[in-house]
Amino acid sequence: MNIDRKGILYAVLAYGIWGVFPLYWKLLAHVDSLEVLVSRVIWSFVFTFLLIIVIQQRKRLIEDLKSLWQDKKLFLSLLAASFVISCNWFLYIYAVNNNHVVDASLGYYINPLITIVFGMIFFKEKLSRLQIGAVIVAFIGVLSLTVGYGEIPWLALLIALSFATYSALKKQATLNATRGLVIETMLMLPVAVVYYIYIMSTNDVSFLQVNWQTDFLLILGGIVTAFPLVLFAKGAKLLPQYVIGFIQYMTPTIVLILGVVLYDEPFTKTELISFMFIWGSIILFTFSTILETRKRNAIQQETVNVESL
């Protein structure tokens, strides 16, 4: 299976941006996590819909909605994707703003393993022996880290499962990345609006009540949310699940560094050993991928030479 260079670029940019998200959400630590979530849904829809109008794809969006209504399987898939990504957003915001940045990092280290397993189960993707070995080494690292915590890391596991499920659901969708995101956020929009009306009626709201900086950050959260999701959707369509799975390690690595260095969260010897296993698996996987690519290129070249005779 060829690995698309554009797909790699899209995925690296998406996961790099997600890695620095704690810097942004910490600025909204004084806002309730649920309000930040519904604000992300509302403003993501607003900005992506405006983008659709600017790039003159409104008619295509209408066509997508019509075909979606006719294709119940795709509709349910996008509805499920909307729900699980909303859950993932909430869990991540909650973790960052309640001093669980390292737990969020653990979640995104576990996530690629689940993504790879989903790829093997649902998409029949095959791995070489070295790649399977890399997955096992990474699993050992995550397992030792989990044992080191002394309890089941529910927050990390839920973050991992929600995004791996979203990734698998998006892999099956055939919609344009940007228009697909508009539809996803539109599906959750009614719930978000109703919740905002509720918290406004109870005066338990921050938007338009704290200061202009808070309002600006909540609104900008729509762009901050939408941009990497569009990049991810583009990358997910161009890359096999196992490649997506390992590129995802960028996000937890950046998040871990921020949690330990910037926010002074603990990082013990147990965690160091565990992360050494994980990084070892990445090196092994990269090496095996290079070997597979060279073999494939050699076979293709031989085929071309034979056909030219």
**pLDDT tens string 260-288:** 889 888 778 877 888 788 778 878 877 77
Q: What is the pLDDT of residues 124-148, one digit of tens each?
A: 777 778 878 888 888 888 788 777 7
Q: Strand runs (DSSP E) across 109-255, as ranges?
A: none
Q: Strand runs (DSSP E) across 227-277, as ranges?
A: none
Count Cβ atoms below 10 Å from residue 36 Cβ, excluding itself: 23
Q: What is the pLDDT of residues 161-202, one digit of tens each?
A: 998 898 888 776 667 777 888 888 999 999 999 999 999 888
CA distance 150 to 278: 19
- Examine the pLDDT at 289 and tell me if it is beyond 90: no
pLDDT at 152: 73
pLDDT at 252: 84
Q: What is the pLDDT of residues 79-118, one digit of tens each?
A: 898 999 899 999 999 999 888 898 888 888 777 778 777 8
Q: How confident is the model at residue 306 (pLDDT cuts 50, 70, 90)?
A: low
Count Cβ atoms below 10 Å from residue 53 Cβ, excluding itself: 10
pLDDT at 46: 92
Q: How confident is the model at residue 2 (pLDDT cuts 50, 70, 90)?
A: low
pLDDT at 71: 84
Q: How confident is the model at residue 216 (pLDDT cuts 50, 70, 90)?
A: very high
DSSP assignment of 39-96 equals: HHHHHHHHHHHHHHHHTT-HHHHHHHHHHHHH-HHHHHHHHHHHHHHHHHHHHHHHHH
Task: Tell me the CB-side half-sphere exposure of residue 262, using CA atoms within 13 A.
Answer: 15
DSSP assignment of 200-237 equals: HHTT---TTTS-HHHHHHHHHHHHHHHHHHHHHHHHHH
**Contact in structure between 265 and 30 (CB atoms under 8 Å):** no
pLDDT at 241: 63
Q: What is the pLDDT of residues 37-87, one digit of tens each?
A: 999 999 999 998 998 998 888 888 898 888 888 888 888 888 898 999 899
Q: What is the pLDDT of residues 225-262, one digit of tens each?
A: 888 877 887 887 788 766 776 787 788 889 988 998 89
CA distance 285 to 235: 19
CA distance 195 to 90: 14
Write the DSSP symbol of residue 169. H
- Examine the pLDDT at 203 and tell me if it is beyond 90: no
The contacts of residue 233 (CB under 8 Å, 6+ apart) are: 170, 177, 178, 180, 181
Length of the chain: 309
Could you give the maximum distance between any two Cα atoms of the chain, in Å?
79
More confident residue, 123 or 53: 53
CA distance 237 to 107: 23
Q: How confident is the model at residue 3 (pLDDT cuts 50, 70, 90)?
A: low
Write the DSSP symbol of residue 175. S
**Contact in structure between 232 and 14 (CB atoms under 8 Å):** yes
Q: With CA atoms as reference, report the closest residue to 230 among 54, 5, 17, 1.
A: 17
Quote the tokens at residue 193: 């609006």
Q: How confident is the model at residue 1 (pLDDT cuts 50, 70, 90)?
A: very low
